[in-house]
Amino acid sequence: MVRVAVVDRDYCKPSKCNLECIRFCPVNRSRKKKAIDLAEDRSRAIIYEDTCVGCGICIKKCPFNAISIVNLPDEYEKMLIHRYGENMFKLYGLPAPRTGQILGIIGQNGAGKSTSIKILSGQIKPNLGRLVNPPEWDEVIKAFRGTEIQAYLSKLASGEIKAVVKPQYIEHARRVLKGTVRELLTRADETGNFKEVVSALALEKLLDKNIGELSGGELQKLLVGAVLLKNANAYFFDEPCSYLDVRERVRVAKAIREFSKPEKNYVVVIEHDLMILDYLTDNITVIYGEPGVYGITSKPYSTRVGINNYLKGYLPAENMRIRDYEIKFRITVKGEVREENPYPVLAWSDMEFQYQPGGFKLSVEGGELHVGEVVGIVGPNGIGKTTFIKLLSGELKPSSGEVLITASNVSIKPQEVSPKIFTEETVLGNLKAASPQAVDPTSWLYLELVKRLKLNRLLERRVDELSGGELQKLAVAVSLARDADLYFLDEPSAYLDVEERISVAKVIRRIIEEKHKAAIVVEHDLLFQTYVSDKVMVFWGSPSIEGKSTKPLDLRDGLNNLLRNLDITVRRDQETGRPRINKPDSVLDREQKQRGIYFAVD
């Protein structure tokens, strides 16, 4: 067996504990050569994998959950591609890009997807796990002899591959990039396709905007456009659809396929929106393992088969069970009748609102929300969703109509999440400020919210040390922990992997039902909406000019309404029940449009 021991440098804090992990280690007490000790600078613990027996005592004794030890079969060491450092993450195997096909990568956050892209794009040279004497490219290529990836790495090493990457976290770009959209795209343009890419991504109205004025979705499209304008032969897109509505996600997917020219170039996409990943890619590679400890790359599967295998938690080509449960999708096609409380907690008549004469105008159909009900909001960005919440909370007064039963206290999870939105330095401090119960291990709120989202391992962490996904889960937890009449969550799935999205959806439903409150969830991932929402409101119109919305509709009618406006048809996969986008003008697409069924759930 191969022992993989990881000590998280962000969690391990020897100065704040009594070092029981070292004192109680049976190897340290019985042998001359230790299995665990402090680093020379005493900043962290070090585990010696050759002498560690894997008893797990140090894991249980560590108060910060900083230690992980996993035993793997010996044959995996032959697949070892890269290790960042002593007692750090290990990656086994690499996805194999192919010309003529778009390769999708799916897996949990922290399992090695972004690391794989960094290696394939040449940002990191694989060290085969050798930290002291890392190999040269010739040795790396020889290690892959007889595999599909060898030819790609040979081209990468010789400089034949020019790679360009769309990064995962777009917030960094806002801080670094300066100038207008036009200036940045002009500088990026190496192909002469400026007008075509701008048109394909609908960026015409944004060209004279400064980067600091862009919304999250607009910035996302800018970065995708900049990558597509580069003259490269390997294109990598790390979560290109975050912050985009359904229409824009499909638009971006079409642009990637058209301008990256997969028929002659290498194209790789990481995306957690399974509908878009299914729509865009030809093959899927699953990266599985233990997040932050190790990741293993599967063989390639066709897109449908690969996604379904991932959801089922079993990879037949590897004969490997990667999860002990199957992810199934909850789809409600009828609004639930709440006999125990027939009276709404929120109600409004037909309303209109305009910010100023000639300014943005919103028209809303009358509706109501009941105790324990989650209503999803779908539609383009900039169409009045936030304005609607301000009307419900009383922050804005409608020019016609009224809020019949108001939400006097609203808890809001904003769209873009950064350390700046939190008032306290640590995860523990922010949760405690939201509700003391959220940090009480004996309370139901701690169990249902903090533990289910796995925030209990992060309590001592500073918020400025968290990843994008960790910040997202903290923002959801803080907003749900507050005492409020209405919970408004704006894009709670951004930067979360598939399993985390399902966990967040379950947490939202559970907390709303237990607190006997109501929630409105703005989310562009239709898979997430079908899982979390009882009903949906559809917004449409002209962004920043005029918006309209329906009343809360059951999922079938609401999503059918939305997809009709987008001219997109969706069917359910027979094996997993997940919604799948039909290819334009395919037989299924034409049949569903003829029947007027754009969202087929049966």
State residue 565's pLDDT score. 83
Encode pLDDT of 447-486 as tens digits: 989 999 999 888 888 898 888 889 999 999 999 999 998 8
**Dihedrals phi, psi of 25, to nearest 5 degrees:** -65, 120
Q: Per the structure block, which two tokens stand in for 16?
A: 């704040």
Question: pLDDT per residue over 131-160, tens digit each?
Answer: 989 999 999 999 888 888 999 999 999 999
From 72, 87, 104, give the residue that closes a domain: 72
Of the three residues 514, 535, 553, the one that is the final residue of a domain is: 553
**Residue 42 lies inside a defined structural domain of this protein:** yes
Residue 577 maps to a domain: no
- Does residue 140 form part of some domain? yes
pLDDT at residue 336 is higher than 50: no
Looking up residue 522, the CATH number of its domain turns out to be: 3.40.50.300
Q: Phi/psi of residue 588, each to 5°?
A: -65, -40
Q: Judging by beta carbons within 10 Å of its beta carbon (0-12, 13-18, 19+), is residue 496 exposed, middle or buried?
A: buried
- The percent of residues in the chain predicted with pLDDT above 90, rounded, is 55
User: Helix, strand or coil for residue 233?
Assistant: coil
Q: Are residues 106 and 250 in the same domain?
A: yes
Q: How far apart are CA 476 and CA 493, in angstroms?
A: 9
Residue 435 identity: S
Domain assignment present for 579: no
What pLDDT, on the 0 to 100 scale, is given for residue 175? 81
* CATH number for the domain harbouring residue 31: 3.30.70.20
Residue 338 domain-assigned (yes or no): no
Produce one character per residue of 48-72: b if its CB has 16 or more CB atoms within 10 Å, e if not: beebbeeeebbeebbebbbbbbbeb
* Residue 446, SS3 per DSSP: helix
- Indicate if 189 and 252 belong to the same structural domain: yes
The band of 577, judged by pLDDT with boundaries at 50, 70 and 90, is: confident
Q: What is the pLDDT of residue 333?
A: 46
Residues 101, 51 share a domain: no
Answer whether residue 601 is part of any domain: no
Is 20 inside any structural domain? yes
Residues 291 and 158 in one domain: yes
Is the per-residue pLDDT at 501 higher than 60?
Answer: yes
Q: How far apart are CA 439 and CA 168, in angstroms?
A: 31
pTM: 0.86
- Do residues 216 and 291 share a domain? yes
Residue 394 belongs to some domain of the structure: yes
Q: Where are the beta strands (DSSP E) in 338-437?
A: 346-348, 351-354, 361-364, 367-369, 374-378, 403-405, 410-413
**What residues are paired with 488 via a beta bridge?**
412, 520
pLDDT of 343 higher than 80: no
19 and 96 in a common domain: no
Give residue-wise pLDDT tens across range 510-529. 999 888 889 999 888 888 88
- Distance from C-alpha of 427 to C-alpha of 411, rounded to nearest angstrom: 18
393 and 491 part of one domain = yes
162 and 199, same domain (yes or no):
yes
- Look over the chain and give the mean of its residue pLDDT values, rounded to a whole number: 89
Shared domain for 7 and 63, answered yes or no, is yes
The partner residues of 270 in beta bridges, in order of sequence, read: 105, 238
Q: What's the order of all strands across the beta sheet hosting 403-405?
A: 367-369, 346-348, 403-405
pLDDT digits (tens, 9 = 90+) for 107-121: 998 899 999 999 999
Domain boundary among 275, 305, 321: 321
Q: How far is C-alpha 39 from the chain's CA centre?
A: 35
How many domains is the chain partitioned into structurally? Answer: 3
**Res 335: pLDDT:** 43
Residue given tokens 């079969």 in the structure block:
73
Three-state secondary structure of 80-107: EEEECCCCCCEEECCCCCCCCCEEEEEE
Do 477 and 414 have their domain in common? yes
- Do 240 and 380 fall within a single domain? no
Residue 330 has pLDDT above 70, yes or no: no
Beta carbons of 411 and 480 less than 8 angstroms apart: yes
| Cβ 368 vs Cβ 554: under 8 Å | no
Claim to verify: residue 424 and residue 490 sit in the same structural domain: yes
Half-sphere exposure of 541 (CA within 13 A, CB side): 20
For residue 417, give its domain range.
346-553
